Structure 1
Amino acid sequence: MGGDYGPEVIVPAAVDAAREGTAIVLVGDADRINAELVRFDTNGLDIRVHHSTQIVEMHDKPSDALRRKRDSSIQVACKLVKDGQADGVVSAGHSGASVACGMFILGRIKGVLRPALAGVMPTEKAPVILIDVGANVDSKPQHLLQFGLMADVFAKDVLGMENPSVGVLSIGEEEGKGNATVKEAFDLFRESRMNFIGNVEGRDIFTGNVNVAVCDGFVGNVALKLSEGLAKSMGNILKEELKRSWLSKLGALLSLRAFKRFRTVTDYAEYGGAPLLGLKGLVVVCHGKSNPKAILNAIRMASKSVENKLHEHLAEGLAVHKDLSETKATPNAA
C-alpha cells in the first residue's frame, strides 16, 4: 500500500511475477487491491490477497509502524514471513518503517550486529553493491566488516559473482586514509578471507573496478541520492541539448538505439530494490517512485535470494569470521 503509487504499480508487477512462477501475497486494503486485480487475467496464477486496515504514511515515524499501526500492510507482511506464510517482503513504502518492522519482527541472524541495506547500482561493467545505504547512520568498524561480509555473499548468491572484489569507501586509495572508523575497518578487512582490494574513492563506484563498496549508512545514502539526482539531471540536460537545433535532433534520431541502451544501463529499475541483509527473513526496500518494472525486478531478486538460500549462506559467512567481527565489538555494538 505504500510508495507514491500504491496498488496501481504493485499489482501489475505482482501479476507479471506470478506469471513467471512466483507465488504472490498482496497485503493491504483488499478492496483497492482487487479493484486493480480485475484488470488482469489471473486464472491459474498463485496470487492471494491478505487484508490489512492501516497504511504507514510518509510523514509517520518508523516507530509508528510498530506501535500505532499494528495492522499496517508492512507490519502484517513481515508477520507473514515470521509465521512461515511467506518467504520475503517487497515494499516501496516508508523505508524507515520497512527497516524497523524487518528488524523488530523478523529479528537478526545470529551473530549479526546490525542489518544493512545493500544498494545495487549500475557501472561501466558489472553492477556494484553499495552497503550500507541508509539503515545505520553511525557505524563501528566491526559493523562495516559485517556489511562487507553480507554483501560478499549476496554478490555471489544473487548477482552470480564468483569472487567479488570488496573495498572500503574512503577519501583516498592509500592505506591510512580516512577517519578512525575507516582506518580500523581497513585492518579488519585485510585480515578477512574476502577479496579485499583496499580503499576505494567515490569516483571508483561507477567504473566497475570494485564489486562491493562498504561505508556507513550516512555516507551511503548521500552517495545513492547524489547518484540518482545526477543521472536524472544529466538526462534532462542531454534532452534539452538535443532539441536545440534540427542538426542535433537528427543526431539524436540516429543515436536513438544507443540512447535506449544507455537508459537501460543507468536505470535503477533494472535492479529493483535494496535488500536489508542480516535478518531472519527477507526484506527488499524499493524506491518510493518505483514503476512496475522496478517492483518486478525486486520480486525477482527476492525470489532468487530464497531459491539460492541466501540467509543460510549469510550465517555461514558470518560464522567463518566470527572472531574477527565479534570479539573486538564493544558491548553496545548491537
Structure 2
Amino acid sequence: MGSTGARIAIDAMGGDHAPGEIVAGALRAREELGVEVLLVGEPQQIKSKLPPKTHLGQVEIVPAEETITMDEEPLSGIRRKPKASINVAMDLVKSQRADAVVSAGHSGAAMASALLRLGRLRGIDRPAIGAVFPTIVAGKPVLILDVGANVDCRPKFLEQFAVMGSVYSQYVLGIQEPSVGLLNIGEEDTKGNDAAVRANQLLRENPQISFIGNAEGRDVLSGRFDVIVCDGFVGNVLLKFAEAVGEVLLQIIREELPQGLHGQIGTAILKPNLKRIKQRVDHAERGGALLLGVDGICIISHGSSQAPSIFNAIRMAKEAVDNQVLHRIQSQNISIQRESG
C-alpha cells in the first residue's frame, strides 16, 4: 500500500509492554497502513526490539532520554523531564515533523504535555477524551466524551464536547447527521442536577448539532445516539465498566463452548462469528481514545496495550489526520460568544 504521507510519532516507552509491543504494533501499521512511524524513546531499547533484518533506514528512531512513570504526578513529571518520550513526541507534532501522537503511557502526562506543548484549539475551554463504543446495532458505534480529561464540567464545556464529537462522528465515523445525547438520570429535560438542566438547554439551542435529548445509562449502547456527552468522572467510570463487561462476555463465551472433540469442531465452525464478536466488544480492537480540543492529533491508548491495540491506535490517528479533524472542528466556529456556563 502506498503511503498517505501521514507521519505518526509513537511514544515507544509508554505502557506496560513497552517498548516491544509498541514497536511491533508500529511496524505493522507502517506495513499495512502505509504510514510513516517515528519511534520515540531510548534508541538501544527500541533497536533491540526490531526484527533482525530491519534496516534502520526503514524506521526513524527519535531519541528521548527519559520516561514519565505511572506513579509520577503528571504536570510536575512533564515539567521536570522535558526530554521525556511523551514530550519529545508532542514536540514533533508542534514542529510539524509529525501529524499525530500515539501513547500508551501515563494518560495524565499525555494530556498535560499536549496542553502545554500544543495548546487548545480556538474556542475550546477544555479538551475532552473521546472513546468509541460498540452498540447493539452492527456497524454503528457511539462516541462518548469526556471519558477522563475533566472530572468537573461546566455546561458550556459539554456544549463544546458535543460540537467536537459531532465533527469527529461525521467525518471519521461516517455518520451524516450525528445524533447527540446528554448522559443523564432520565429522559425529561428537567432531570438531573442544575448543571445537567442548563447543559440540556444549551445543547437544544445550538444549531451546529442535532441534539435529541437526554440519554439514560440503558441508552448508551442502544444505537439511538451517535455522540453522548458527560463529565469525565462519569465517563471514565462508564469506560472502565464497559471494558470490563466486554472482557467478561468474551470469557463467558470461552467457558461455555463445548469441550473435547465436539467442542473443537464446533469452535472451528463458529470461528468467523467468534472473531466478529471479539471485534465488536474487545476494547483492544478500538486502539485508544482521541484527545479532542488540543491543537494536534493525540491518541491515548490503554496502558496494557499490546501490538494489535497500538496498530488500531495508529489507524485511528491516521483516520483523524486524513479526514482533517482539527481543521473541520476549527472551521465550525465553535467559539460560543454568549455566556453559557
TM-score, normalised with respect to structure 1: 0.91
For the aligned residue pairs, the C-alpha RMSD in angstroms reads: 2.0
Provide the rounded CA distance (Å) in 2 between the counterparts of 1:166 and 1:211: 6
Give the stretch that moved more between structures: 173-182 or 112-121.
173-182
Task: Identify the match of residue 42 of structure 2 among 26, 29, 38.
Answer: 29
Provide the rounded CA distance (Å) in 1 between the counterparts of 2:23 and 2:95: 23
Provide the rounded CA distance (Å) in 1 between the counterparts of 2:163 and 2:55: 40
Q: Which amino acid aligns with 1:294?
A: S
> CA distance change for structure 1 residues 197 and 40 in 2, over 3 Å: closer, same or farther?
farther
Q: Which amino acid aligns with 1:281?
A: G
Task: Identify the match of residue 233 of structure 1 among 243, 248, 252.
Answer: 248
Task: Identify the match of residue 137 of structure 1 among 129, 143, 151.
Answer: 151
The answer on whether the counterparts of 2:202 and 2:340 sit within 8 Å (CA) in structure 1 is no
Residue 51 of structure 1: aligned partner: 63
Residue 232 of structure 2: aligned partner: 217
TM superposition shift of 1:93: 0.4
Structure 1 stretches of 4+ with a deviation exceeding 6 A read 244-250
> CA distance change for structure 1 residues 178 and 246 in 2, over 3 Å: closer, same or farther?
farther
Provide the rounded CA distance (Å) in 1 between the counterparts of 2:299 and 2:43: 22
TM superposition shift of 1:43: 7.6
Secondary structure of 1:262's counterpart equals helix
Provide the rounded CA distance (Å) in 2 between the counterparts of 1:255 and 1:227: 24
TM superposition shift of 1:86: 1.1
Task: Identify the match of residue 271 of structure 1 among 271, 280, 286.
Answer: 286
> CA distance change for structure 1 residues 171 and 249 in 2, over 3 Å: closer, same or farther?
farther
TM superposition shift of 1:35: 1.1
> CA distance change for structure 1 residues 184 and 286 in 2, over 3 Å: closer, same or farther?
same
1:6 is the counterpart of 2:14 = no
Residue 102 of structure 1: aligned partner: 114
How many residue pairs were aligned?
Answer: 325
Provide the rounded CA distance (Å) in 1 between the counterparts of 2:183 and 2:210: 15
Provide the rounded CA distance (Å) in 2 between the counterparts of 1:34 and 1:253: 38
1:312 is the counterpart of 2:312 = no
The one-character-per-residue Cα deviations of 1:156-187 (angstroms, maximum 9, x if unpaired) are 12112111111001111122111111111111
Q: Which amino acid aligns with 1:300?
A: R
Q: What are the equivalent positions in structure 2 for 1:250-269 lying under 5 Å apart?
A: 254-269=269-284
Q: Which amino acid aligns with 1:21?
A: G
Q: Which amino acid aligns with 2:250?
A: G
Residue 338 of structure 2: aligned partner: 327
The answer on whether the counterparts of 1:142 and 1:326 sit within 8 Å (CA) in structure 2 is no
Provide the rounded CA distance (Å) in 2 between the counterparts of 1:133 and 1:206: 15
**Please, which runs of 5 or more residues in structure 1 have no aligned partner?**
none
Provide the rounded CA distance (Å) in 1 between the counterparts of 2:278 and 2:296: 33
The one-character-per-residue Cα deviations of 1:235-260 (angstroms, maximum 9, x if unpaired) are 22333333679887776565343222
> CA distance change for structure 1 residues 235 and 81 in 2, over 3 Å: closer, same or farther?
same
**Please, which runs of 5 or more residues in structure 2 have no aligned partner?**
1-12
The one-character-per-residue Cα deviations of 1:203-254 (angstroms, maximum 9, x if unpaired) are 1111211110110000000000011112212322333333679887776565
TM-score, normalised with respect to structure 2: 0.90
Provide the rounded CA distance (Å) in 1 between the counterparts of 2:340 and 2:74: 27
Q: What are the equivalent positions in structure 2 for 1:95-244 lying under 5 Å apart?
A: 95-125=107-137, 126-193=140-207, 194-242=209-257
The answer on whether the counterparts of 1:116 and 1:278 sit within 8 Å (CA) in structure 2 is yes
Aligned residues: percent identity?
42
Q: Which amino acid aligns with 2:164?
A: M
> CA distance change for structure 1 residues 170 and 32 in 2, over 3 Å: closer, same or farther?
same
Provide the rounded CA distance (Å) in 1 between the counterparts of 2:91 and 2:112: 13
The answer on whether the counterparts of 2:299 and 2:313 sit within 8 Å (CA) in structure 1 is yes
Secondary structure of 2:49's counterpart equals helix
Provide the rounded CA distance (Å) in 1 between the counterparts of 2:94 and 2:19: 23
1:91 is the counterpart of 2:103 = yes
